[in-house]
Structure 1
Amino acid sequence: MFGLLLLGALVLGLIPAGSTRTPSIYDELLENGSASGTDDKTVGPRPCPRSFAGQVCANDSTILLLPNSSKALLLGWVPTCLVPAIYSLALVLGLPANGLALWVLATRVPRLPSTLLLINLAAADLMLGLALPPRIAYHVRGQRWPFGETACRLATSALYGHMYCSLLLLTAVALDRYLAVVHPLRSRALRGLRLATALCATAWLVAAALALPLALQRQTFWLAGDGAAGRLLCHDALPLDAQLSHSRPAFACLALLGCFAPLLVVTLCYGAMLRALAASGRPHSHALRLAALVLASALAFFVPSNVLLLLHYSDPRPGARGDLYAAYLPSLALSTLNSCVDPFIYYYVSADFREKVRRALGRPAQGLAGHTSKASGEEGAGAGSHTRSTSQV
């Protein structure tokens, strides 16, 4: 849903507000040395060198003054080369893989509750990929946002919303598998389309609520001292007071409720599943490899950016964290690569999914009977005859 709103804004041809801005006296003062640290009562005190927090210009609240160190990092090779390269990789790999996964799950796989969860997960990953092209264009253009304030808000909320929605849906899938394996008899009546629908709706609503503050706050600011051409930043630099009053609680909720709490639930669910399988004497090597794959990908892609996010906003003292945001930018881009891993998890854990993909690609299905038997014996046997091995995530 975030992606559709973003595409609509881009189709309307939104242009940056004030794109015909002329150089102000603030730019001239910066060129004369105020940006390098000399005191100037006209523009106010120099901002603290904490991340990319800026000081609003006295005569124009849409212009931000950044310290030279922050400006150098913001315009360096990491944001302008490495970050768009990672986003492009996520786009090239994730878009076709999730598109194929969504088509197979929606049209070729039996409509089970677990299938509904995976359809929503594939849709969230697909829409995350659709939200990346504007970000790629922004970074490739040297941190120049060409689409305007509304599109920046939508792009930012879409990036975070779909990314955290993907993690929340992975948590919903883990809960479904936990009920099927650990409580197979008691969960027969519970594990139905009603529960799957409720889990999906909850994931989408929570992700939307977590991303909403980003859509309500101004996200674009002109970079001071950038000459007549101007450089409109999107989300990468915000006024210091806005960071402390608005962004810090919003991103703290994103990290805690959107990442660490879901990862804890996923870890507990897979841990309980492995214990139940080991105690029952059933083979669990497949389940062990699956749990390791899901947890390793989630930890590798989501934890670094969210740890940096909490560190960035944990200490409001001037200079407490330096330019930590420069490390957060590539870690945020790295988080989007998780959307590329999910389709391969489907392929690895589900014999039915492998069979449908092979048929869709015109390749013969080999050895599927053995795979199906193995998957069903390890994780699906305790879930009752109504639960097939279509989804073993």
Structure 2
Amino acid sequence: MWRLRLLLLWALMLGRSLGRSTQAPSDYDETENPTGDEGGSTVSLLPARPRSFPGQPCLNDSHTLRLSNGSQQLLLGWVPTRLVPGLYGLVLVVGLPANGLALWVLATRVPRLPSTLLLMNLAAADLLLALVLPPRLAYHLRGQRWPFGEAACRAATAALYGHMYGSLLLLAAVSLDRYLALVHPLRARALRGQRLAAGLCAAAWLSAAALAAPLLMQRQTFRLAGSDRVLCHDVLPQDAQLAYWRPAFTCLALLGCFLPLLAMLLCHGATLRTLAAGGQRYGHALRLTALVLASAVGFFTPSNVLLLLHYTNPRHGGWGDLYGAYVPSLAVSTLNSCVDPFVYYYVSAEFRDKVREGLSRRPPGGATASKASGEGGGPAASGTRSSSLL
């Protein structure tokens, strides 16, 4: 009899042990019933995977995602619904007219030198970045409610990242052009030309398009459980995130941001050494080159560092809610498109004269033909002329 009791007790203990091992709660387990069915049985969800905000797919409804209370407060707080649209609005108010006017002046009143082509493409990228912001602006102002549908969400996300990283790649191309003109003026006579400039522009646009293309391939609109909000990209399902979104954004940050920034550091670093060796007469060009480099690093580095950190460990207690800081830092990155026209174009008195000529509808004056900016303050030799206003 005692053997039978011992056997029953052992079986009971084994069953409890198995029950605990198969239902060990993860960081995302909930005690309420996710399906809304009666009975309120506890359902153990999948382990943590990386995503934008750490959300949970609702059972029997793959288009609805659940958020923890902390993540939901970050998603719907004043930062994404007030600060972020304010920053995007600033890009529209300042960047749109500044880049539009700069592009028009470069296209109509500046000699078509190789660097003119690079600067025209940079102004176009910054202008297009401002033009794709209104849907995102409306989304944030509506309290994270996307009204335009799935296809528009994919296109808006890809366009935002594509034009922003395209602008950064073009900044790297401009820095290479300045490096050749100022550090290797004799070699630049053979290397710098329309073919090189066109090749750099084409490479920048094609690279940006290739990096942004994965953002068009996956669904990005999901309803937030318990609300009427349709989210665009801010919360993504866990099953696709580990295998798809993490490598996509890792490539975007490494190849679209840190590689161009490294190229800018190398090129501008060598340019700064050359200008510094020229003495006091190149002080203005030296300060302006340092400002260009500092603005690119300052605007783009924080958001991409946060992006990489977020995707390394998205669990609660790890970097999971860093996306709440990444959203405003991404908006700050777009402000670089407002700075570019002032540090590349309007800083030059010559360019401002051309703007006034254009606005007053006067024909371009031959006496104000574009001088080399690096030439206008740097040690570039004749024959390396450029309309770049560095």
User: Is the TM-score greater than 0.5?
Assistant: yes
1:12 matched residue in structure 2 = none
Tell me the distance in 2 between the aligned counterparts of 1:375 and 1:313. Answer: 41
- Deviations along 1:7-55, whole A, 9 cap, x unmatched? xxxxxxxxxxxxxxxxxxxxx9569799xxx9632x8468679861222
For residues 135 and 320 of structure 1, do their structure 2 counterparts lie closer, same or farther at Cα, with a shift above 3 Å needed? Answer: same
Q: Secondary structure at the match of 1:253?
A: helix
Question: Any conservation in 1 of the 2:188–2:384 contact (CA below 8 Å)?
Answer: no
Amino acid at match of 1:324: L
Corresponding position: 1:193 with 2:190: no
- Deviations along 1:354-380, whole A, 9 cap, x unmatched? 221122344999xx98x969963522x
Corresponding position: 1:118 with 2:119: yes
1:64 matched residue in structure 2 = 65
2:233 matched residue in structure 1 = 235
2:388 matched residue in structure 1 = 391
Q: Secondary structure at the match of 2:64?
A: strand
For residues 113 and 33 of structure 1, do their structure 2 counterparts lie closer, same or farther at Cα, with a shift above 3 Å needed? Answer: farther
For residues 383 and 72 of structure 1, do their structure 2 counterparts lie closer, same or farther at Cα, with a shift above 3 Å needed? Answer: same
For residues 324 and 190 of structure 1, do their structure 2 counterparts lie closer, same or farther at Cα, with a shift above 3 Å needed? Answer: same
Question: Any conservation in 1 of the 2:81–2:141 contact (CA below 8 Å)?
Answer: yes
Q: Secondary structure at the match of 1:156?
A: helix
Question: Any conservation in 2 of the 1:315–1:321 contact (CA below 8 Å)?
Answer: yes
Greater gyration radius: 2
Note the aligned Cα RMSD (angstroms). 2.8
Tell me the distance in 2 between the aligned counterparts of 1:374 and 1:209. Answer: 33
Tell me the distance in 1 between the aligned counterparts of 2:50 and 2:72. Answer: 10
Q: Secondary structure at the match of 2:383?
A: coil
Aligned residues: percent identity? 67
The within-5 A match list for 1:1-393 is 29=33, 40-41=42-43, 44=45, 52-226=53-227, 230-280=228-278, 283-315=281-313, 317=315, 319-362=317-360, 376-379=375-378, 381-385=379-383, 387-388=385-386, 390-393=387-390
Amino acid at match of 1:97: A
Q: Secondary structure at the match of 1:63?
A: strand
Query: CA offset at residue 319 of structure 1?
Result: 3.7
Number of residue pairs aligned between Structure 1 and Structure 2? 354
For residues 103 and 33 of structure 1, do their structure 2 counterparts lie closer, same or farther at Cα, with a shift above 3 Å needed? Answer: farther
Amino acid at match of 1:378: G
Question: Any conservation in 1 of the 2:50–2:241 contact (CA below 8 Å)?
Answer: no
Question: Any conservation in 1 of the 2:181–2:374 contact (CA below 8 Å)?
Answer: no
Query: CA offset at residue 66 of structure 1?
Result: 1.1
Amino acid at match of 1:144: R
Question: Any conservation in 2 of the 1:270–1:291 contact (CA below 8 Å)?
Answer: yes
Tell me the distance in 1 between the aligned counterparts of 2:229 and 2:208. Answer: 31
1:20 matched residue in structure 2 = none
Tell me the distance in 2 between the aligned counterparts of 1:342 and 1:202. Answer: 20
Amino acid at match of 1:211: A
Tell me the distance in 1 between the aligned counterparts of 2:229 and 2:209. Answer: 29
For residues 302 and 374 of structure 1, do their structure 2 counterparts lie closer, same or farther at Cα, with a shift above 3 Å needed? Answer: closer
Amino acid at match of 2:385: T
Query: CA offset at residue 289 of structure 1?
Result: 1.1
Query: CA offset at residue 72 of structure 1?
Result: 1.5
**Structure 1 gaps, min length 5:** 1-27
Amino acid at match of 1:142: G
Query: CA offset at residue 335 of structure 1?
Result: 0.6
Question: Any conservation in 1 of the 2:179–2:271 contact (CA below 8 Å)?
Answer: yes
Q: TM-score scaled to structure 1, two decimals?
A: 0.83
For residues 39 and 103 of structure 1, do their structure 2 counterparts lie closer, same or farther at Cα, with a shift above 3 Å needed? Answer: farther
Question: Any conservation in 2 of the 1:138–1:145 contact (CA below 8 Å)?
Answer: yes
2:11 matched residue in structure 1 = none
Q: Secondary structure at the match of 1:64?
A: strand
Query: CA offset at residue 100 of structure 1?
Result: 0.3
**Structure 2 gaps, min length 5:** 1-31
Q: TM-score scaled to structure 2, two decimals?
A: 0.83
For residues 56 and 383 of structure 1, do their structure 2 counterparts lie closer, same or farther at Cα, with a shift above 3 Å needed? Answer: farther
Quick check: 101-110 or 270-279, which moved more? 270-279
- Deviations along 1:128-165, whole A, 9 cap, x unmatched? 00110000000111101000000000000000000000
Query: CA offset at residue 295 of structure 1?
Result: 1.6
Question: Any conservation in 1 of the 2:88–2:137 contact (CA below 8 Å)?
Answer: yes
2:18 matched residue in structure 1 = none
